[in-house]
Chain A
Amino acid sequence: MPPSALQNTAASNARHWRRTKTLTFSLMLIWVLVTVFVIFFARELSSFTVFGWPLSFYMAAQGLVVIYLIIVAVYTWQMGRFDRDAGIGKTAQHPHSPKPSQTTSSDHALNNEK
């Protein structure tokens, strides 16, 4: 691969990692805030009701759990998009295939694969 392609891969990887970090930390922030809010204010929330449940019981038994699933779904979907932008999925059926810029590390990870 010519040096310019190498630089492109490095730049694209850096961009991918930046976007991954932003996505990960925003979703984790939502995860923490929602969980702590529901538990910390459970007593105050129990005076409201949804579909017959006291709100705090509903959120703790079902609401939070469904929110967790949505967080994971959004992450999976977005990361799929980032990966496509970075060129994964078109050619790479083998995510192990060593990239020129990381020979040492991929050796490291591959030395036990058959």
Chain B
Amino acid sequence: MKNKSFLSRLTRYYSWYTAGFIGFLIILAILENEGFPRSWIGYLFMFATIALYAGIGVVSRTSDVSEYYVAGRRVPGIFNGMATAADWISAATFISLAGGLYLQGFDGLAYIIGWTGGYCLVALMIAPYLRKFGQYTIPDFLAARYSGRFGGKYGGNPVRILAVIATVLISFTYVVAQIYGVGLITSRFTGVDFSVGIFLGLASILVCSFLGGMRAITWTQVAQYIIILFAYLIPVIWLSAKHTHNPIPQFAYGSVMMQLGDIEKTLSDDPKELEVRRIFKERAAIYDKRLQDLPQSWAQGRMEAQRQLKILKHSSETSLIDIRAANRKLSDYPKSPDEARQRWTEAKALNLAHADPPTPQATPFPGKDKEASDIKRNNFLAVVFCLMLGTAALPHVLMRYYTTPSVQETRKSVFWTLFFILLIYLTVPALAVLVKYDIYTSLVGTEYSHLPNWVSYWANIDKTNPLVSIIDLNHDGIVQLSEITLDGDMIVLATPEIAGLPYFISGLVAAGGLAAALSTADGLLLTISNALSHDVYYKMIDPAASTQKRVTISKLLLLVVALLAAYTASLKPGDILSMVGAAFSLAGSALFPSLIIGVFWKRANQQGALAAIIVGFGTCVYYMLHTLPAFGGTAAAQWFHIAPISAGVFGVPAGLLAMVLVSLLTPPPDARTMALVDYIRAP
């Protein structure tokens, strides 16, 4: 059997690779012990892994269409599962997910449920049928399924155009978030500037996908998955062994959670904590008063700041530092009453949040009263819904299931994907709980003169929006829990330092985060360029193009899209989790109805699909624009108190409804389409 020997050869290669990687870790551990400088360990991890990915890209270079688009359709299920898992585990999962759980407690679990449960939909209702159909892209499938009665060969093009637009928009939003993550990691661990970091990471993405398309990406992603797995598990296993004497974190952290619950209870009525929280409440009240007195309070505040600066400048005793601080305060002051209103509202909310007792880790939907708690529950459900349906409609994941040798292998492949994702996802809550325990027991209650090194290191990376800030508010010289502010995005990256692990583990975690971001970015860029080159150029502009030309066009487009995405990311458009969340809502609303119904309801026709994509996408975008403050919307415009990130809750049903109504009002699809549906359903 040809497939069997291919599988065993692959297994042998990747076993050697894994052994080599472990050897690399051991060498770095020894080097660190011998006093090798820390910054060099960081560089070695970054450049060794990037060189490795580029190397795989060079080895797997190809200009064959089938190799370039679908890796020759011979990737065994288990390896495709590993590659899809790497494709799936993005910067959001690796960097932000555990941080979200740390900060939000139970509510953060919505992401874990949503991002795994969606695979049931993929496995049962989409992936096998796509593989049976056996083309190259998602728009391909939709165009063939919803081809029209008129227009002959190009009958599916209206649906194809809309599907391409949706694919490109969704993937672009997503890829910008990944490249942003790449910039974040490279700049932190190698000390280069953020925008330089982005282009460094981009270079390695390009070498890989530019030369070998899906073939190179698949084999790189398998390699990346192995690094991601090591990078995520080693620190957690270490922490787990340290706190529970049981090295299997998935089983061990239950006992830590019980202790954490007790600590939370003590801290919530500790007198010193109450004192700090009262200070926050007072600060919030000051902002509240200023907000009520607008616009006079804004003018007064500015005059006051100017007066302070004048006094300082004229006094002979003040130091330059004081003057500089006063100067900065004046230049930071809101430029207009409107800006003041916005910034003070935020400051008030932030202070009020600090004035609350710590969020209990295990309590579902904590809220002041039943109504507040119900709203949280509904939002939890809404997030889960959007993430699941978004998962089932993300083009870059679905595309991977074209690469297996058969439909049966695709089914197995989805199982392996979920399995490899679980290895990471079951560890995420353990990491959050163990780090929280570490901070609550070893950082809370220490003296300010003995703060650990990582605090100042992470606080100094970004001075204007510090990732960590610990300020002695009540001036007692002891750290109180309420005085600690942590950014969710630093928790995983800083875990080795928080737990006091050796530095090479920090380097490993950074390399893992980079692998997660790069693997996802690779898959997304290829999806965008394939949609443009295959669906727009080959299927619509020049159907006579030679295969060589198609691949070349695809490579060129990849380059352009990558540079565009890097440029957008360098503008720092927003935080990773919210960008990724938006991409999921959009994907679910635009593509989910037509994908699912296309297989399970024969009567659905072209007009219905067009209506579904337009209405679903439109509803989703409308809701986001009207509820996101960043786009000029207000929270008051929310329907049923559903947060804008879950706009898909309205987009998906709207799309489904449009599909059913319009299909029933228009004539049924032609015999050719019916036959296609029969074909993809047949064993």
Smallest distance from the beta carbon of A13 to chain B beta carbons, Å?
5
Q: Which of B89-107 contact A (CB under 8 A)?
A: 106
Once A65-B422, A68-B418, A105-B676 are accepted as A-B contacts, the answer to whether A86 and B683 lie under 8 Å apart by CB is yes
A51 at the interface (CB under 8 A from B): yes
Residue count of chain A within 8 Å CB distance of chain B: 58
Residue of A with least CB distance to B144 = A108
B285 at the interface (CB under 8 A from A): no
Q: Is chain B's binding surface mostly helix, strand, loop or mixed?
A: helix
Once A42-B106, A95-B407 are accepted as A-B contacts, the answer to whether A112 and B135 lie under 8 Å apart by CB is yes
Which of A42, A46, A65 has most chain B Cβ within 10 Å? A65
Once A61-B429, A65-B425 are accepted as A-B contacts, the answer to whether A35 and B125 lie under 8 Å apart by CB is no
Q: Digit string of A29-67 for contact with B (CB within 8 Å is 1, else 0)?
A: 001000110011011001000011110111011101110
B365 at the interface (CB under 8 A from A): yes
A106/B418 in contact, CB under 8 A: no
B426/A62 in contact, CB under 8 A: yes
B471 at the interface (CB under 8 A from A): no
Categorize the interface residue count of chain B: 35 or more
Q: Which of A59-114 contact B (CB under 8 A)?
A: 60-62, 64-66, 68-69, 71-73, 75-76, 79-80, 82-83, 86-89, 93, 95-96, 99, 102, 104-106, 108-110, 112-114
A65/B113 in contact, CB under 8 A: yes
B419 at the interface (CB under 8 A from A): yes
Which residues of A are found within 8 Å of B135, using beta-carbon distances?
Answer: 109, 112
A76/B418 in contact, CB under 8 A: no
Smallest distance from the beta carbon of A78 to chain B beta carbons, Å?
10
Q: Digit string of B245-273 for contact with A (CB within 8 Å is 1, else 0)?
A: 00000110011011000000000000000
**Cα A83 to Cα B672 with chains together (Å):** 25
Which residues of B are found within 8 Å of A53, using beta-carbon distances?
Answer: 254, 257, 362
B120/A71 in contact, CB under 8 A: yes
Once A72-B119, A95-B406, A109-B134 are accepted as A-B contacts, the answer to whether A42 and B125 lie under 8 Å apart by CB is no
Q: Which of A24, A28, A105 contacts B675 (CB 8 A)?
A: A105
B679/A40 in contact, CB under 8 A: no
A27/B381 in contact, CB under 8 A: no
**Cα A52 to Cα B411 with chains together (Å):** 35
B106/A109 in contact, CB under 8 A: no
Residue of B with least CB distance to A58 = B254
B116/A99 in contact, CB under 8 A: no
Which residues of B are found within 8 Å of A102, using beta-carbon distances?
Answer: 675, 678-679, 682
A61/B683 in contact, CB under 8 A: no
Q: Digit string of B379-415 for contact with A (CB within 8 Å is 1, else 0)?
A: 0110010000000000000000000001110011011
B112 at the interface (CB under 8 A from A): yes
**Cα A49 to Cα B629 with chains together (Å):** 40
Which residues of A are found within 8 Å of B327, using beta-carbon distances?
Answer: none
**Cα A62 to Cα B407 with chains together (Å):** 29
Smallest distance from the beta carbon of B159 to chain A beta carbons, Å?
15
A72/B418 in contact, CB under 8 A: yes
Q: Digit string of B591-602 for contact with A (CB within 8 Å is 1, else 0)?
A: 000000000100
Which of B363, B408, B683 has most chain A Cβ within 10 Å? B683
Smallest distance from the beta carbon of A113 to chain B beta carbons, Å?
7
Smallest distance from the beta carbon of A10 to chain B beta carbons, Å?
9
Residue of A with least CB distance to B681 = A17
Which of A43, A76, A88 has most chain B Cβ within 10 Å? A76
A69/B415 in contact, CB under 8 A: yes
Which residues of B are found within 8 Å of A65, using beta-carbon distances?
Answer: 112-113, 116-117, 422, 425-426
**Cα A36 to Cα B672 with chains together (Å):** 39
Q: Which of A46, A79, A113 contacts B128 (CB 8 A)?
A: A79
Which residues of A are found within 8 Å of B600, using beta-carbon distances?
Answer: 21
B437 at the interface (CB under 8 A from A): no
Could you name 11 residue pairs across A and B whose Cβ atoms are closer than 8 Å? A17-B681, A28-B121, A35-B384, A62-B429, A65-B117, A65-B422, A68-B120, A72-B414, A86-B683, A95-B132, A108-B144
